[in-house]
A and B are shown apart, each in its own frame.
Chain A
Amino acid sequence: MVVFSDRSVTKLDNLFGRGHREAVERLRSAVEEGYFIAVLGARRVGEN
């Protein structure tokens, strides 16, 4: 389901975009390895 909200998304079903979903998977792998992680986005958009 698509959520039009100005708040952050917290459910995988509501997370849209291939890059966003890939980021979730990469976060998991990195945390399982115990790495430090830098998550970069082109810009900040309000609360989301």
Chain B
Amino acid sequence: MGKTSAVKTFLNHYRYRFLYFDLSPYIGLRAVSLRSLVPAEIGFNEFSISSEAQLGLAVVSFRLKRLEVTSEVFQSNLVTLLQELSKRFRRFVLVFDEAQVLPFIKGINYRGLLQLIHNNYHNISVVLTGSMPGLLERVVSPANASMPGFARYIEEIEVPKWSREEAVEFLKQGLRERGIAYIEEELEAAYEELSGVPGFITYYGLLRTRGHNHEEALAKASEYATTLWERDLKAFIQIYNSPLYIHTLAALAETITGASWSEIMKELEMRTGKPVSKSTLHRIINNLLRAAMIQKKFNKYIITDRPMKRAVKKLAKTL
């Protein structure tokens, strides 16, 4: 239950017509095939649009087996389809889930496409979701900041983690509804250990309903969280292409109260055996902050997410 749930609930509850592109399987890949853009969900009646637009939809869905869909063919058919959708429906929503993948799709001029929608189809809204804010900024910001672009009109919506009260109340309600006994301290511990991330808390609840006791459920949920973080961290490192990110995170993972700029600098130089420039460290810290992997508290940088700390320690051992 995170940003995808919020977006899907919004589409379903208000019955908007939509096309949903799920790019989450491709996070971390540097070369992504055009086929990743096959819509995962088509949220309108396909037979309500013209035969030309139906053909366009068939092409962008790769349903026509005899047709070789090049990026040019894909883009022109998508534009034909969007023209029709804009005329046919009062409002239409295009969703790109984990949109930070867009720049890695081969042959697609995604910025041009978004600009075209922005300039010409005023009743089509584009929803871009992302778990790495810094990377999503790259997707939406024009390379030249003085250039007028769709990025100027982007509404940012943050789907937060749960508070302690929300996480505990969610677990209480769910366990009570299924008649499963619990102790409040267990639920507090689950919140602490899983750092309030809704997906991990939900998974803990799911395990409790499948017969696992608190200790087993927490251990499994925690392991699951650490494994997912490891995968995300690897994807992040692959994109930024530098082991210094893991060294920085590893240095922070060893601390309880975080580390200052100069402490990180010393630690990095010790770990790598080489001098690190101020500009390099500035870039690393900035990118980690923008990706919400670290936080700044009272001039110190800190990792607050416990499963992530464990994942960092595991990855650091492989360097």
A-to-B contact residues, CB < 8 Å: 1-6, 8-12, 14-20, 23-24, 26-28, 30-48
The answer to whether A43 and B131 touch across the interface, beta carbons within 8 angstroms, is yes
Give the shortest distance, in Å, between A27 (CB) and chain B (any CB): 4
The answer to whether B170 and A19 touch across the interface, beta carbons within 8 angstroms, is no
The answer to whether B232 and A16 touch across the interface, beta carbons within 8 angstroms, is no
Give the shortest distance, in Å, between A28 (CB) and chain B (any CB): 6
Task: Find B232's partner among A17, A34, A43 (CB 8 Å cutoff).
Answer: A43
Give the shortest distance, in Å, between B128 (CB) and chain A (any CB): 5
Known: A10-B9, A30-B125. A4 touches B156 (CB 8 A): no
What residues on A are CB-neighbors of B161 within 8 Å?
42
Kindly state the separation between the CA atoms of A46 and B5 in the bound complex, as whole angstroms: 12
- Among residues of B, the one whose C-beta sits closest to the C-beta of A25 is B10
Kindly state the separation between the CA atoms of A26 and B208 in the bound complex, as whole angstroms: 33
B159 at the interface (CB under 8 A from A): yes
B198 at the interface (CB under 8 A from A): yes
Task: Find B13's partner among A12, A18, A20 (CB 8 Å cutoff).
Answer: A12
Give the shortest distance, in Å, between B81 (CB) and chain A (any CB): 18
Task: Find A23's partner among B6, B131, B203 (CB 8 Å cutoff).
Answer: B6
The answer to whether A9 and B1 touch across the interface, beta carbons within 8 angstroms, is yes
What residues on A are CB-neighbors of B10 within 8 Å?
23-24, 27-28
Known: A38-B157, A39-B129. A15 touches B228 (CB 8 A): no
Given contact pairs A23-B157, A35-B155, enumerate 18 new A-B contacts (beta carbons under 8 Å): A3-B202, A12-B13, A16-B1, A17-B166, A17-B170, A17-B198, A23-B159, A28-B14, A30-B125, A31-B93, A33-B155, A37-B125, A40-B3, A40-B130, A40-B158, A44-B24, A46-B228, A48-B1
Give the shortest distance, in Å, between B92 (CB) and chain A (any CB): 9
Give the shortest distance, in Å, between A23 (CB) and chain B (any CB): 4
Task: Find B170's partner among A16, A26, A45 (CB 8 Å cutoff).
Answer: A16
Kindly state the separation between the CA atoms of A27 and B98 in the bound complex, as whole angstroms: 17
The answer to whether B206 and A42 touch across the interface, beta carbons within 8 angstroms, is no
What residues on A are CB-neighbors of B142 within 8 Å?
none
The answer to whether A48 and B160 touch across the interface, beta carbons within 8 angstroms, is no
What residues on B are CB-neighbors of A48 within 8 Å?
1-2, 4-5, 198-199, 202
What residues on B are CB-neighbors of A18 within 8 Å?
166
Kindly state the separation between the CA atoms of A40 and B123 in the bound complex, as whole angstroms: 22
Query: Which residues of B5-39 have CB atoms within 8 Å of chain A's CB atoms?
Result: 5-14, 16, 24, 27
Task: Find B160's partner among A11, A19, A24 (CB 8 Å cutoff).
Answer: A19
Kindly state the separation between the CA atoms of A38 and B129 in the bound complex, as whole angstroms: 6
- Among residues of B, the one whose C-beta sits closest to the C-beta of A20 is B6
Kindly state the separation between the CA atoms of A14 and B1 in the bound complex, as whole angstroms: 10
What residues on A are CB-neighbors of B130 within 8 Å?
38-41
Give the shortest distance, in Å, between A32 (CB) and chain B (any CB): 7
B177 at the interface (CB under 8 A from A): yes
Q: List 16 A-B contacts (CB under 8 A).
A: A2-B177, A2-B205, A4-B205, A15-B6, A17-B160, A23-B157, A24-B9, A33-B155, A36-B140, A36-B153, A37-B154, A39-B129, A40-B129, A40-B158, A41-B158, A46-B199
